[in-house]
Amino acid sequence: MLFHVRMTVKLPTDMPVEQATRLKADEKELAQRLQREGTWRHLWRIAGLYANVSVFDVPDAQALHDTLMQLPLYPYMEIEVMALCRHPSSIRDDDR
């Protein structure tokens, strides 16, 4: 099942630089593993914002929730989710 997810990162302005750097590195490592595994299908920066739009491919809403809650930056994100389903005019066989 595919989900469109928008994540806006809001790190506290008083967070020590070392902590922010560690969180971002841990986030990157997990995000790249999930992309390699096919769970995190798309990851795009929203131009001009510390935010991204992503597409996740997971079995169900619970799996999406569990995945998002694992993200190191999760406590510092605002997250909006839209469930996606196949468009009848799509030519992509892997959209489901």
Ligand X SMILES: O=C(O)CC1=CCC(=O)O1
Task: Say whether residue 9 binds ligand X (CB under 6 A).
Answer: yes
Instruction: Report how far residue 32's alpha carbon sits from residue 93's, in angstroms, rounded to the nearest whole number.
Output: 24
**What does the block give as tokens for 85?**
């389903």
Q: By CB under 6 A, how many residues form the interface with ligand X?
A: 8
Task: Say whether residue 27 binds ligand X (CB under 6 A).
Answer: yes
Instruction: Report how far residue 51's alpha carbon sits from residue 87's, in angstroms, rounded to the nearest whole number.
Output: 26
Q: Which is nearer to ligand X, 31 or 58 (CB)?
A: 31
Q: Which of residues 57-76 bind ligand X (CB under 6 A)?
A: 73
CB 31 within 8 A of CB 40: yes
Q: Which of residues 39-58 bind ligand X (CB under 6 A)?
A: 51-52
Task: Say whether residue 5 binds ligand X (CB under 6 A).
Answer: no
Q: Which is nearer to ligand X, 1 or 9 (CB)?
A: 9
Q: What share of the chain is helix, strand, coil (3-state, %, to 5)?
A: 35, 30, 35
